[in-house]
Structure 1
Amino acid sequence: MNIITNTDALAATCARLADAGYVTVDTEFMRDSTFWPKLCLIQLASPGEAFIVDPQAPGIDLAPFYELMRNKQVVKVFHAARQDIEIFWHEAETIPDPLFDTQVAAMVCGFGESVGYETLVRKLTGGSVDKSSRFTDWSRRPLSDKQLQYACGDVTHLRKIYEVLARRLTQTGRARWVAEEMAILQDPETYAQRPEDAWKRIKMRFKGQRGLAVLVEIAAWRERQAQERDLPRSRILKDDALAEIATQIPRVPEDLDRLRAVPKGFANSRTAASIMEAVERGLSMPEDRIPVVKDSEPLPPGIGPLVELLKVLLSLRSEEHEVAQKLVARTSDLELIAAHDEPDVPALKGWRREIFGADAQRLKRGELALSARGKKILLLETAKGAR
Structure 2
Amino acid sequence: MTILTTDKALKQYCKTLEKAAYITVDTEFLRDKTYYAKLCLIQVSDPKKNAVAIDVIANPDLDLTPLLKIFENQKIPKVFHAGRQDLEIFWQQYETLPTPLYDTQIAAMVCGYGDQIGFDNLSQKAIGKRLDKSQQFTDWSRRPLSDKQLSYALDDVLYLVDIYEHLVKELDKRGRTSWVLEETEALLEPDLYDLPLGDIWQRLKVKSPRPKQLAVLRELAAWREQRAQEVDIPRGRILRDDILVDISFHPPAKPKDLQRVRGFPKGQEDKKLGLAIIEAAQKGVNSPKDSWPEVEKKKILPPHCQPALELLKMLLKIKAAENDVAARLIASNEDLHELAEFGENAKTTALKGWRKKIFGDDALKMLSGKIVLQLHKNQVKLKSI
The 10-residue stretch of structure 1 (333-342 or 230-239) with the greater mean CA deviation from structure 2 = 333-342
Which of the residues 333, 354, 362 maps onto 1:359? Answer: 362
| Cα distance between partner residues in 1 of 2:137 and 2:368 | 52
Q: Which amino acid aligns with 1:159?
A: V
| Cα distance between partner residues in 1 of 2:158 and 2:242 | 43
1:104 alignment partner in structure 2: 106
Q: Which amino acid aligns with 1:52?
A: A
| Cα distance between partner residues in 2 of 1:223 and 1:193 | 11
Identity of aligned residues (%): 46
Deviation at 1:189, TM superposition (A): 1.8
| Aligned partners of 1:118 and 1:128 also within 8 Å | yes
1:385 alignment partner in structure 2: none
| Cα distance between partner residues in 2 of 1:207 and 1:97 | 40
Q: Which amino acid aligns with 1:37?
A: A
Deviation sequence 1:90-134 (CA, Å, 0-9, x none): 011111111111110011111111112112211222221011111
| Aligned partners of 1:198 and 1:220 also within 8 Å | yes
1:43 alignment partner in structure 2: 43
| Aligned partners of 1:244 and 1:261 also within 8 Å | no
Q: Which amino acid aligns with 1:45?
A: S
The 10-residue stretch of structure 1 (149-158 or 112-121) with the greater mean CA deviation from structure 2 = 112-121
| Aligned partners of 1:6 and 1:57 also within 8 Å | no
| Cα distance between partner residues in 2 of 1:209 and 1:197 | 14
Deviation at 1:207, TM superposition (A): 5.5
| Cα distance between partner residues in 2 of 1:255 and 1:61 | 51
1:109 to 1:208, Cα distance in 2 relative to 1, 3 A: closer
Which of the residues 193, 196, 218 maps onto 2:195? Answer: 193
Which of the residues 53, 76, 79 maps onto 1:77? Answer: 79
Q: What secondary structure does 1:132 align onto?
A: coil
2:264 alignment partner in structure 1: 262
Q: What secondary structure does 2:252 align onto?
A: coil
Equivalenced residue count is 382
Deviation sequence 1:215-272 (CA, Å, 0-9, x none): 1111111111111221111111111111111111110123212211311112133232
| Cα distance between partner residues in 1 of 2:368 and 2:267 | 62
4+ runs of 1 displaced by more than 3 Å?
Answer: none
Which of the residues 302, 308, 311 maps onto 2:310? Answer: 308
| Cα distance between partner residues in 2 of 1:108 and 1:144 | 37
What does residue range 81-230 of structure 1 map to in structure 2 within 5 Å?
81-206=83-208, 208-230=210-232
| Aligned partners of 1:121 and 1:128 also within 8 Å | yes
1:335 alignment partner in structure 2: 337
Deviation at 1:208, TM superposition (A): 3.5
Which of the residues 352, 376, 384 maps onto 1:349? Answer: 352
Deviation at 1:331, TM superposition (A): 1.9
Any gaps of 5 or more consecutive residues in structure 2? none
| Cα distance between partner residues in 1 of 2:47 and 2:305 | 53
TM-score (norm 1): 0.95
The 10-residue stretch of structure 1 (168-177 or 252-261) with the greater mean CA deviation from structure 2 = 252-261
| Aligned partners of 1:75 and 1:100 also within 8 Å | yes
What does residue range 290-329 of structure 1 map to in structure 2 within 5 Å?
290-329=292-331
Deviation at 1:206, TM superposition (A): 4.3
| Aligned partners of 2:252 and 2:282 also within 8 Å | no
| Cα distance between partner residues in 2 of 1:347 and 1:265 | 53
| Aligned partners of 2:211 and 2:295 also within 8 Å | no
The CA RMSD measured in Å over matched residues stands at: 1.4
| Cα distance between partner residues in 2 of 1:150 and 1:375 | 48
Q: Which amino acid aligns with 2:324?
A: E
| Cα distance between partner residues in 2 of 1:123 and 1:202 | 36
The 10-residue stretch of structure 1 (3-12 or 258-267) with the greater mean CA deviation from structure 2 = 258-267
Q: What secondary structure does 2:134 align onto?
A: helix
| Aligned partners of 1:217 and 1:278 also within 8 Å | yes
Deviation sequence 1:162-207 (CA, Å, 0-9, x none): 1111112122111110111011011112212321111112212345
| Cα distance between partner residues in 2 of 1:357 and 1:32 | 42
Deviation at 1:80, TM superposition (A): 0.5
| Cα distance between partner residues in 2 of 1:336 and 1:40 | 44
Deviation at 1:305, TM superposition (A): 2.7
Q: Which amino acid aligns with 1:31?
A: R
1:336 to 1:16, Cα distance in 2 relative to 1, 3 A: same
The 10-residue stretch of structure 1 (28-37 or 329-338) with the greater mean CA deviation from structure 2 = 329-338
Q: What secondary structure does 1:234 align onto?
A: helix
Q: What secondary structure does 2:163 align onto?
A: helix
